[in-house]
Amino acid sequence: MKKVEAVKLPPDASIREALHIIDSGAIKLAIIADEENRLLGTVTDGDIRRAILNGKTLDESIDGVYNKHPVVVGIDESKESIINLCTAKKIYQIPVVDKRGRIVRIAMLDELLKPKTRPNKVVLMVGGLGSRLRPLTETTPKPMLHVGGRPILQTIVERFASHGFTDIIMCVNYKADIIRDYFGDGNRFGVNISYILEQKRMGTAGALSLLKERPGEPFFVMNGDLLTNVNFENMLQFHLDNNAMASMCVREYDFQVPYGVVNIENGKIRSIEEKPVQRFFVSAGIYILNPACLDLIPNEYYDMPALFEKIISRGEHAVSFPLREYWLDIGRMEEYEKANREYYKVFE
């Protein structure tokens, strides 16, 4: 049982305030209550990400975002009943209320009931040439370039391990021996690492056709040249909550047109927009796939966008997971230098 004061908010709080509570606590939930402590609702990381996709800003009110009909239990509910309800509803915490609807505490699924490590595999694509980072990559594969005093790939492995994802597969090609010699079986990093050697370039999805064993659970796929502090547990829960076949991390990208844009209709000027800003969501190179996705991947060069297009064309459910955390694709020298400047502010 957890105290609720640290995660409680009034109904006029902002989305930003709710995010702060969700990110800073182990409960991963914010409670909305009125002045008399009556439960009005709950808000989760997934609720906020859906609101962002729908155009909400962090400074807007949480009203309209939080769940006003959460699952609750009474103060006399037994431990066994709470566990059974959590299992049936696929949730990890339930507000406990008294007969007047006032929030008393939050019942959490006992941490001891959950496995110490999670069964979901992590596939890291680390076979790229890193041509744009030459001459640094002439002797070192890009994922092994040091940022913050350690290889980029080590930070990725440690981030997954910190969330309980310890079954890691590395798809290697260029200078594969350097990666294998450094990581070995992963024991000294608290993980289990196996390797797939790409004899030829297979793309970001084609290499998955080389997996020796079919995963039994949804699994992560991530490019090996990224730095991010995204919560992988939240991403997996978002994938499961949405019953998705495939999930893609997306990042908002702004582009400002450096000129006045003239809107023309039938030769007539209708309006002029001075240097408008165009906003897009772009792929962030992190994915979760259900095992059934492997049936759609040919044993040849095949990129992840092609896989998602196939999934969508078949009417399967593909969802986006908007990133609001730190993220940097280290593809060019200026990004590599930026990563080294920012590393200790983000990861230490």
CATH number, domain containing residue 63: 3.10.580.10
Q: Are residues 140 and 272 in the same domain?
A: yes
313 vs 278, 289, 291, 321, CA distance in Å?
Answer: 27, 16, 18, 20
The yes-or-no verdict on residue 130 having pLDDT over 70 is no
pLDDT tier, 1 (very low <50, low <70, confident <90, very high otherwise): very low
153 or 283, greater pLDDT: 153
- The tokens for 66 are 């939080």
pLDDT tier, 115 (very low <50, low <70, confident <90, very high otherwise): very low
Q: Are residues 131 and 105 in the same domain?
A: no
The yes-or-no verdict on residue 70 having pLDDT over 50 is yes
Please tell me whether residue 139 adopts helix, strand or coil conformation.
Answer: coil
Q: Are residues 177 and 319 in the same domain?
A: yes
The yes-or-no verdict on residue 171 having pLDDT over 90 is yes
pLDDT of res. 112: 35
CA distance 154 to 124: 11
Q: Are residues 265 and 207 in the same domain?
A: yes
CA distance 25 to 343: 23
With a CB cutoff of 8 Å and minimum separation 6, the contacts of 132 are 331, 332, 333
Write down which residue in 70, 87, 113 finishes a domain: 113
pLDDT tens for 174-221 read 888 999 999 999 999 989 999 999 888 888 899 999 998 999 999 999
Whether the pTM exceeds 0.75: the reply is: no
129 or 97, greater pLDDT: 97
Q: What percent of the chain has pLDDT over 70?
A: 95
Q: Are residues 66 and 130 in the same domain?
A: no
The yes-or-no verdict on residue 114 having pLDDT over 60 is no
157 or 109, greater pLDDT: 157
Q: Are residues 91 and 165 in the same domain?
A: no
Tell me which residue range forms the domain holding 338: 122-347
- Average pLDDT, integer, range 263-291: 82
- Mean pLDDT value across the chain: 86
Q: Are residues 74 and 204 in the same domain?
A: no
The yes-or-no verdict on residue 265 having pLDDT over 50 is yes
pLDDT of res. 329: 83
pLDDT of res. 118: 87
Write down which residue in 113, 141, 163 finishes a domain: 113
CA distance 223 to 251: 15
Q: Are residues 104 and 144 in the same domain?
A: no
Q: Are residues 26 and 108 in the same domain?
A: yes
The yes-or-no verdict on residue 35 having pLDDT over 60 is yes
pLDDT of res. 10: 92
Q: Are residues 187 and 281 in the same domain?
A: yes
Q: Are residues 287 and 221 in the same domain?
A: yes
Tell me: cis bond preceding 322? Omega within 30 of 0 counts. no
Positive or negative, the CA dihedral 240, 242, 246, 250 is negative
* CB 288 within 8 Å of CB 235: yes
Write down which residue in 76, 93, 113 finishes a domain: 113
The yes-or-no verdict on residue 94 having pLDDT over 90 is no
Domain count, the chain: 2
162 or 109, greater pLDDT: 162
CATH number of domain containing 330: 3.90.550.10
Q: Are residues 94 and 219 in the same domain?
A: no
